[in-house]
A and B are shown apart, each in its own frame.
Chain A
Amino acid sequence: MKILVAVKRVVDFNVRIQVKADGSGIASDGVKMSMNPFDEIAVEEALRLKEAGKAEEVIAITIGPKASQEQLRTALAMGADRAIHVETDEDIQPLTAARILNAIIDKEEPKIVMLGKQAIDDDNNQTAQMLAALANWPQATFASQLEVDGDVANVTREVDAGLETIAVDLPAVISADLRLNEPRYVKLPDIMKAKRKPIDTFTLADLGVEAAASVKVLKTSAPATRQAGIKVETVDELVVALKERGLF
């Protein structure tokens, strides 16, 4: 069984995002980039399935500019067997990403596609669901526990009401939530070995996908600074204040 894991290059979660003065986007020159943390959890889970003998091969895939190969190298250093880089400088939105992954599914025929539940840059939380629809596969999103039993995956999902366990037939799309696992520390020798593992590169044209943007970003701006609140002495005053603001 093959597992395909999608990873995305994002601004590191420790970086304080700065909006460019002209509102055209965020400052990224020299800013530390990392693998989306939810994707790291997805890679870890795929590797654990392989180590448990449930999968034979783990393939990491990313879509993005040349530099995105750094994140593939991270996945390879964690233990992925090989990687696919769909190289593009276009802004890729979830539907395009899902189409690209679907095209790779046709080539690689994996039994599981794993993704992080969302990327911490745009927080869209759409790619996994769209991919399942395009591939006509079952989906199990927000996974906090995963057991593979033959051709079935038993997935515990984090939902609003708590936890829900579902069984999905493979092949399926599974997206990882925060508590699925704690990713391993990469070993130095594995960083060196990752350098020698293969990365196949495709263009969008190779896959017959166009980077059609259905959403256009008009302007990027920082959230308004939060204004200081007021203190009230009694509940009555609080009710009056809330009514004045139309909140009660």
Chain B
Amino acid sequence: MPEYKAPQRDMMFVLNDIINVSELAELPGFEDATPDIVQGVVDEAAKIIENTIAPLNETGDREGCRFDNGMVTAPAGFKEAYQLYTESGWTGLDKSIDFGGQGLPYTLATAVSDMLCAGNDAFSLYPGLTNGACEALMEHGSQELQDTYLEKLTTGEWTGTMCLTEPQAGSDLSQVRTRAIDQNDGTYLIEGTKIFITGGEHDFVDNIIHLVLARLPDAPAGVKGISMFVVPKFMVDSDGNPGARNPVVCASIEEKMGIHGSSTCVMSFENATGYLIGNANEGLRYMFTMMNLARLMVGLQGLGVAERATQGAIEYAKERKQATAINGGETIIHHPDVRRMLMTMKALTEGCRMVAYDTAKHYDISKAHPDESVRKTANDRVELMTPICKAFATDVGCEVASLGVLVLGGAGYIRESGMEQYIRDAKIFCIYEGTNTIQALDLVGRKMKMNLPQTFIKEMINDLATESGNDELGFIVEPMQAALNLLDKTTQWLTAAALEDPQNPAATAVEYLTMYSLVTHGHFWIKAARAALAKQDDDFYKAKLVTARFFANKILPRIYGLAPVIMAGSEPVMTAEEDWL
């Protein structure tokens, strides 16, 4: 398996030159996020991830999780790596200081997640799901629940889960049947079965805290009748320590295509004791607090797998000699089609990193800026970019992982190369935390009703106007002008077509999301090219410029295949009778 080296040069480029991370230190509460801390965090997280977590990626895949009588054992080394990672304080990076965290910006946590996911996507899920549980408790939990659980979730001494899915309730959570009965003593009895629960059971920690969607007996039907409960694996005693076993048990674990190091559990709640979070019947809203962060996290998993596949493919292509290339080069990196694949991988991966970090910065602004209108604008951007970060970066993960195998040819299909694992790992990222279809429907539905895509198109057009006449950037500015015009036109078509027939946006949402994402990447590639032009005295910046040009000439034009497909609407998709398929 290719060794993982954190792409620190590119990460620092995005942090400093694309999103200007130093601005975060000006926000109240983030005073500590000065450039030296940013550098220190990236340096030290890279060391621990490269040396202790990334090497477990392949062994974790081969060994997988083992289930025995309700107990789950993670692959060898995972527990020790998790302990080192948590004892080193990394899980508390962006968590509240009140509960033992460091209170640093989410943007820094994003940079660390970028490395953690690339190093070991399966491993990253254990702290990843805990983050969501922390956030939901922080936003919506009572003081008592926060005091009981948040500190140990912050330090990683305990982990968290999101128990949403049931066999009949996947994308449609209105079908949730798990029941909660009020005991009138501040507790509820939870009864039901949840499936696909990541980290539902494992051997790392003393307690696992499940956040569970369930229905009260008198709850209204549908999503308006769902409540959220905290259900600990072990009841927490008055000293804050795990006590009696709560009857929530792992009935089995799934055998999956990939992410074998992550335990995916069927969880059976057998009248387990739970505590209501916030108000009854508002669980779906609270769930989205976890879900939105989880979606951004999954986008980083897509970015991570793309980074790792790209590193592996480039390393191999520089070594492998096969057929002298047209330019006389001996290694396969000289063959034009291998080069096309590698440039595609590099451009898409680096683009996803820019979008992800920029979205993270807007998330921090939306939480910490003193001016409410600034917070609102930043939050709008996060809302818009969440489906883009999640769906496009995970599509990129699959595309790049697939190209990665192809660059190695037959060797890539052999397990020993380590490259085929990336394809198997990457697929789930397109599925969980809302499939990429759900993401696309969110973009053309709720987000378009809020006018968010339209607003950002205007912003991109305005940004472009500042560069018109800049000859040095013309190679990307001109294609982007045409691309933005077409995106604008397509968006207007879609808005009108949605009024005619709601099947129009539903049948074209995925293509629209791809088109929107490509143009968004173009917006960031202009920023990258602008920054690289200013300092070309180095191969890194020269490569940035060349990659921006590759994006403008070879990737952005994909939209010309997408726009007519979108504007053909739903009719070609939906005309066939069910029996004709």
Chain A interface residues toward B at CB < 8 A: 14, 18, 20, 27, 29-32, 34, 69-70, 73-74, 77, 185-192, 194-195
Contact = CB atoms under 8 A, between A and B. Distances in A.
B37 A27 contact: no
Interface in B241-295: none
Contacts of B51: 185
Interface string B1-33: 000010011001100000000000000000010
Given A32-B8, A32-B12, A185-B88, A191 B537 contact: no
Given A18-B539, A186-B88, A73 B40 contact: yes
Contacts of B12: 30, 32
A96 B91 CA distance: 44
A191 B9 contact: no
A188 B5 CA distance: 20
Interface stretch (B41-49, B522-530, B545-553): B41-49
B331 interface: no
Contacts of B37: 191-192, 195
Contacts of A69: 36
B418 interface: no
Q: Which of A30, A73, A190 gathers the greatest number of chain B CB atoms within 10 Å?
A: A30
A188 B44 contact: yes
Contact of B537 (A29, A186, A188): A29
Contacts of B41: 188, 191
27 contacts: A14-B5, A18-B538, A29-B538, A30-B12, A30-B538, A30-B540, A31-B538, A32-B9, A34-B43, A70-B39, A74-B40, A74-B43, A77-B40, A185-B48, A185-B88, A186-B40, A186-B47, A187-B87, A187-B89, A188-B41, A188-B89, A188-B90, A188-B92, A188-B93, A189-B89, A195-B32, A195-B34
Contacts, number: 73
B554 to A, nearest CB: 26
A30 B8 CA distance: 11
Q: Which of A18, A70, A188 gathers the greatest number of chain B CB atoms within 10 Å?
A: A188
Given A29-B538, A30-B540, A31-B538, A189 B102 contact: yes
8 closest A-B pairs by CB: A188-B89, A186-B44, A187-B88, A185-B48, A189-B89, A191-B40, A27-B538, A187-B89
A190 B92 CA distance: 13
Contacts of A29: 535, 537-538
B350 to A, nearest CB: 15
B568 interface: no
Interface in B85-108: 87-90, 92-93, 102
A77 B538 CA distance: 31
B84 interface: yes
Given A189-B102, A192-B102, A70 B535 contact: no
A77 B44 contact: yes
Contacts of A70: 36, 39-40
Q: Which of A20, A31, A74, A185 gathers the greatest number of chain B CB atoms within 10 Å?
A: A185
Given A30-B9, A73-B36, A20 B537 contact: yes
Contacts of B535: 29-30
A222 B92 CA distance: 44
Interface string B172-213: 000000000000000000000000000000000000000000
A30 B84 CA distance: 31
Interface of B: 5, 8-9, 12-13, 32, 34, 36-37, 39-41, 43-45, 47-48, 51-52, 84, 87-90, 92-93, 102, 535, 537-541
Q: Which of B41, B43, B540 gathers the greatest number of chain A CB atoms within 10 Å?
A: B43
Nearest to B93: A188
A192 B32 CA distance: 8
A194 B89 CA distance: 14
Nearest to A183: B47
A220 to B, nearest CB: 14
Given A29-B537, A32-B8, A191-B37, A185 B47 contact: yes
A186 B48 CA distance: 8
B183 to A, nearest CB: 40
A189 B90 CA distance: 9
A189 B40 CA distance: 11
Contacts of A73: 36, 40
A188 B95 CA distance: 12
Contacts of B32: 192, 195
B51 to A, nearest CB: 8
Nearest to A192: B102
A188 B88 contact: yes
A221 B13 CA distance: 27
A38 to B, nearest CB: 16
Nearest to B100: A189
A185 B84 contact: yes
Nearest to A32: B8
A224 B47 CA distance: 32
A30 B102 contact: no
Contacts of B87: 187
A65 to B, nearest CB: 14
Given A70-B40, A187-B87, 16 more contacts: A20-B537, A27-B539, A31-B9, A31-B538, A32-B12, A70-B39, A73-B36, A74-B44, A187-B89, A188-B41, A188-B45, A188-B88, A188-B90, A188-B93, A189-B92, A195-B36
B13 A30 contact: yes
